[in-house]
Amino acid sequence: MLSKINPSELWLPGISVDCVIFGFHENQLKVLLLKFIKSPVWALPGGFVGLEEDVDQAAARVLYERTGLTDIFLEQFYTFGDLARNYRATEEHRDVNTAMGRSEDEVSWLSKRYITIGYYALVDYSKVVVNPGDISDKAEWVDVASLPKLFLDHNRIVIKALDSLRKSLDEKLIAFELLAETFTMSELQVVYETILGKRLVRTNFQRKILSLDILDRIEKKYSGGAHKAPYLYRLKP
Amino acid sequence: MLSKINPSELWLPGISVDCVIFGFHENQLKVLLLKFIKSPVWALPGGFVGLEEDVDQAAARVLYERTGLTDIFLEQFYTFGDLARNYRATEEHRDVNTAMGRSEDEVSWLSKRYITIGYYALVDYSKVVVNPGDISDKAEWVDVASLPKLFLDHNRIVIKALDSLRKSLDEKLIAFELLAETFTMSELQVVYETILGKRLVRTNFQRKILSLDILDRIEKKYSGGAHKAPYLYRLKP
């Protein structure tokens, strides 16, 4: 991607965006990780900011390029700008560059402090077809509770994103972004519990959610043991 | 400041920090503004990020340089990186540069998009001695409810800072940062009301604050009409 044109003709220097893409699957809150080509190092999906691109657009582009998704919940949560974010200083950086066979130009472009603007996204796991992209050869959804050691400070970035997600859970009703269009009350409760990392009392949870008056209850369909089938809900239009 | 050394030997390119410094005075929430030298344009206190400085350190340095304060509440809240943050594109930029008699080198250094990392600070108004700095000739505390049109997108930056401050009010108990060491319950309530932009019920407010068990009540001192004097409180150590 960077081999033919001088990177400085395309991108802002020293700035990147990193996306913490949360998906929900099998009662786990997962994060999309990419492995650098020919390297054992895993990292968050990220990219540079185009000279003619807002930083929000850069984050949306990265998200689209890796997941094929548009129009989804994507929010800036924090900017990481410590001196230590200098790729040059890390063993990983040397390893990754060597493994990827990067040119001198590319290595020099990357060999400085990068200030990265963190965004988090919530996606319906079932709709994502992951494209690892040019610099990765593998993508994986990993439980936030058992992340490996990631590139540079990416573990800290995930922790900070999760912290922001928790704080926004009630205010922005974003848990619904992780669910399919229709869901049961207990599916919704599991999403809340998983994000918050704690159990909630069923009756209190239901009362709170229903009091918000944001859900439509869908007519029950016959489904075998019909009298046991839970109600399905969806967000009001 | 920038006239003798090439700015790129000191600072990261295209990055700045801006500080929304809140102070509380005469029942108003105020923001510290600076006026550019020989120009009618007002702006937030801001600065560049040194090559050997974390972005948090840069924000703390700007705050110290303008207010003389250290060890105060200072929190990153948002990063502004739209294409439109290009100083070159604004009338204001030309006016400010002309008025300040900036050199070609300085103007060229400044003539690009700047991504700015926003921080907000809460200070005890009575402790601040403002130093306008090299590029300003006037400083003023202005009520957030009646700001003039500020440089570039600085009005939006203040609005976003106020929004973050409101969200953090309960979680971080930061209202106390705006008060002197000892205060009455009604002084505290006025700070909350002013930040939130709404009236609160006195009894509910007192009950809520006292239930947090964070305040020490100080012994009343005789003060003339002693039976009417309100209790003084301070934060527990």
What's the CATH code of the domain at A20? 3.90.79.10
Which of A53-62, A192-201, B80-89, B101-110 is the least confident region? B101-110
Among candidates A149, A132, A140, A208, which has minimal Cα distance to A175? A208
Question: Quick one: pLDDT band at residue B112, thresholds 50, 70, 90?
Answer: confident
Return the pLDDT at B127: 83
Return the pLDDT at A81: 95
Which residues of chain B are within 8 Å of residue A13 when distances are taken between CB atoms? 13-14
On the question of pLDDT at B145 being above 60, the answer is: yes
- Say which of A15, A52, A83 has its CB closest to residue B115: A15
In the block, tokens 């700008």 appear at A81
Instruction: Please write down the HEC assignment for all residues of B177-226.
Output: HHCCCCECHHHHHHHHHHHHCCCCCHHHHHHHHHHCCCEEEECCCCCCCH
On the question of pLDDT at B225 being above 70, the answer is: no
Return the pLDDT at B104: 76
The SS3 of residue A174 is: helix
Return the pLDDT at A178: 87
Among candidates B49, B63, B65, which has minimal Cα distance to B11? B49
Task: State how far the Cα of A119 lies from the Cα of A56, in Å rounded to an integer.
Answer: 9
Residue B107 lies in a domain: yes
Distance from CA of A60 to the nearest CA of B (A): 13
Question: Quick one: pLDDT band at residue B74, thresholds 50, 70, 90?
Answer: very high
Residues A209 and A171 in one domain: no
Question: Quick one: pLDDT band at residue B90, thresholds 50, 70, 90?
Answer: low
Residue B150 lies in a domain: yes
Which residues of chain B are within 8 Å of residue A163 when distances are taken between CB atoms? none
Residue A53 lies in a domain: yes
Q: Domain range spanning residue A206? A: 185-235
Residues B200 and B220 in one domain: yes
Return the pLDDT at B1: 47
Residues A121 and A37 in one domain: yes
For chain A, what percentages of helix, strand and coil (3-state, to nearest 5) are there?
Answer: 40, 30, 35
Beta bridge mates, B48: B16
In the block, tokens 């060890």 appear at B71
On the question of pLDDT at A32 being above 70, the answer is: yes
Which residues of chain B are within 8 Å of residue A53 when distances are taken between CB atoms? 83
Question: Quick one: pLDDT band at residue A1, thresholds 50, 70, 90?
Answer: very low
Percent of chain B at pLDDT exceeding 70: 93
Residues B197 and B138 in one domain: no
B→A interface, C-beta within 8 Å: 12-15, 49, 52-56, 76, 78-79, 81-83, 113, 115, 117, 167, 171
Cβ B205 vs Cβ B153: under 8 Å: no
Which residues of chain B are within 8 Å of residue A167 when distances are taken between CB atoms? 167, 171
Task: State how far the Cα of A227 lies from the Cα of B112, in Å rounded to an integer.
Answer: 66
Distance from CA of B204 to the nearest CA of A (A): 22
- The chain A residue lying nearest B79, using CA atoms, is A79
Q: Phi, psi at residue B61, to the nearest 5°?
A: -65, -45
Q: Per the CB < 8 Å rule, is B82 touching A54?
A: yes
Task: State how far the Cα of A229 lies from the Cα of B2, in Å rounded to an integer.
Answer: 71
Return the pLDDT at A90: 67
pTM of the model: 0.88
Residues B38 and B89 in one domain: yes
Q: What is the mean pLDDT of chain B?
A: 87
Question: Quick one: pLDDT band at residue A135, thresholds 50, 70, 90?
Answer: confident
- Say which of B55, B113, B167 has its CB closest to residue A115: B55
Helix (H) or strand (E) holding A9: none
pLDDT in tens, A156-204: 999 999 999 998 887 777 888 888 889 999 999 999 999 998 899 999 9
Domain boundary at B139, B156, B178, which? B178
Residues B157 and B45 in one domain: yes
On the question of pLDDT at B34 being above 90, the answer is: yes
Instruction: Give how many domains chain B has, as a whole number.
Output: 2
pLDDT in tens, A43-58: 999 999 999 999 999 9
Residue B172 lies in a domain: yes
The SS3 of residue B138 is: strand
Residue B83 lies in a domain: yes
Residues A108 and A129 in one domain: yes
Burial class (CB in 10 A: 0-12, 13-18, 19+), A5: exposed
Which of A74-88, A105-119, B4-18, B95-109 is the least confident region? B95-109
- The chain A residue lying nearest B77, using CA atoms, is A78
pLDDT in tens, A78-123: 999 999 898 776 677 777 777 777 777 778 888 889 999 999 999 8
Residue B41 lies in a domain: yes
- Say which of A55, A79, A171 has its CB closest to residue B55: A79
Residues B41 and B139 in one domain: yes
Question: Quick one: pLDDT band at residue B2, thresholds 50, 70, 90?
Answer: very low
Distance from CA of B79 to the nearest CA of A (A): 7
Q: Phi, psi at residue B38, to the nearest 5°?
A: 55, 30
Question: Quick one: pLDDT band at residue B97, thresholds 50, 70, 90?
Answer: confident
Residue A48 identity: F
Residues B215 and B231 in one domain: yes
Cβ B143 vs Cβ B22: under 8 Å: no
Helix (H) or strand (E) holding A73: strand A73-80
Query: Which of A17-21, B185-189, B194-198 shows the highest mean pLDDT?
Result: A17-21
Long-range contacts of A57-65 (CB under 8 A, 24+ apart): A58/A17, A59/A17, A59/A19, A59/A117, A59/A119, A62/A17, A62/A19, A63/A19, A63/A21, A63/A119, A63/A121, A65/A131, A65/A133
Domain boundary at A178, A202, A217, which? A178
Distance from CA of B33 to the nearest CA of A (A): 24
Task: State how far the Cα of A161 lies from the Cα of A70, in Å rounded to an integer.
Answer: 20
Q: Phi, psi at residue A230, to the nearest 5°?
A: -75, 155
Q: Per the CB < 8 Å rule, is B83 touching A52?
A: yes
Region B229-237: mean pLDDT is: 88
Cβ A46 vs Cβ A120: under 8 Å: no
The SS3 of residue A77 is: strand
Return the pLDDT at A58: 97
On the question of pLDDT at B109 being above 70, the answer is: yes
Domain boundary at B151, B178, B205, which? B178
Burial class (CB in 10 A: 0-12, 13-18, 19+), B216: exposed
Q: How far is CA B41 from the centre of its chain?
A: 18
In the block, tokens 């009703």 appear at A173
Which residues of chain A are within 8 Å of residue B13 when distances are taken between CB atoms? 13-14
Q: Per the CB < 8 Å rule, is B56 touching A81?
A: yes
- The chain A residue lying nearest B81, using CA atoms, is A55
Q: A183 Cβ partners below 8 Å, 6+ apart?
A: A232, A233, A234
Task: State how far the Cα of B15 lies from the Cα of B80, in Å rounded to an integer.
Answer: 10
Return the pLDDT at B101: 79
Q: Phi, psi at residue A144, to the nearest 5°?
A: -60, -25
Return the pLDDT at A89: 60
Q: Per the CB < 8 Å rule, is B79 touching A55?
A: yes
DSSP at A10 = T
* Numbers of helices and strands, H then E, in chain A: 6, 9
Residues A101 and A74 in one domain: yes
Residue B2 lies in a domain: no
Distance from CA of B180 to the nearest CA of A (A): 29
Region B9-21: mean pLDDT is: 94
Determine which of A56, A85, A113, A157 to mutate to test the interface with B (most B C-beta atoms within 10 Å): A113
> Strands A136-143, A28-36: parallel, antiparallel or unpaired by DSSP?
antiparallel
pLDDT top residue among B64 and B174: B64
Distance from CA of A57 to the nearest CA of B (A): 9
Residue A1 lies in a domain: no
Residues A171 and A224 in one domain: no
Which residues of chain A are within 8 Å of residue B117 when distances are taken between CB atoms? 79, 81, 115
- The chain A residue lying nearest B164, using CA atoms, is A77
pLDDT top residue among B134 and A150: A150
Q: A221 Cβ partners below 8 Å, 6+ apart?
A: A229
Distance from CA of B208 to the nearest CA of A (A): 21
Residues B58 and B161 in one domain: yes
